[in-house]
A = this chain, B = another copy of it.
Amino acid sequence: MRTQHHPARDDIKLSDIFYALSDPSRQSIIKELAKKTVLNCKNFELEVAKSTLSHHLKVLRESGLTQTRQSGTMAFISLRREDLDARFPGLLDAILGAYAKEEQDASGA
């Protein structure tokens, strides 16, 4: 099993989180992860090259937003809810709530 770098909970930085969230593709990944908890990286509904997806997943992992568990040729990705809630209480929920509001407003609801 390959081990990939994940920042320790206390080393998660807001500037890294916000940088990770500044990209629309990474925003889509976070929204998917919020709904499905864990995703095989082949299951993302993103129409980008595999290398681009790998880059986005690396930025998300290194920001502390996600964790990647590698099992053979499969990678399982999930939000680091527990760590994020401990480090920055309420922030992840506020971000996910804001995404929902933005989608709702865009759909004219």
Q: Residues 88-99 of chain A: 1 if any B CB is under 8 Å from the residue's CB, otherwise 0?
A: 111101110111
Using Cβ atoms and an 8 Å threshold, which residues of chain B touch A21? 14-15, 18
Contact of A87 with B by CB under 8 A: yes
Cross-chain contact A97 with B91 (CB below 8 angstroms): yes
How extensive is the interface on chain A, given as a class?
Answer: 20 to 34
Contact of A19 with B by CB under 8 A: yes
Q: A15-B21, A15-B22, A21-B14 are in contact. Are A89 and B101 (CB under 8 A)?
A: yes
Min CB distance A46 to B, Å, is 15
Residues on A lying within 8 angstroms of B by beta carbon are 10, 13-15, 18-19, 21-24, 27, 87-91, 93-95, 97-99, 101-102, 105
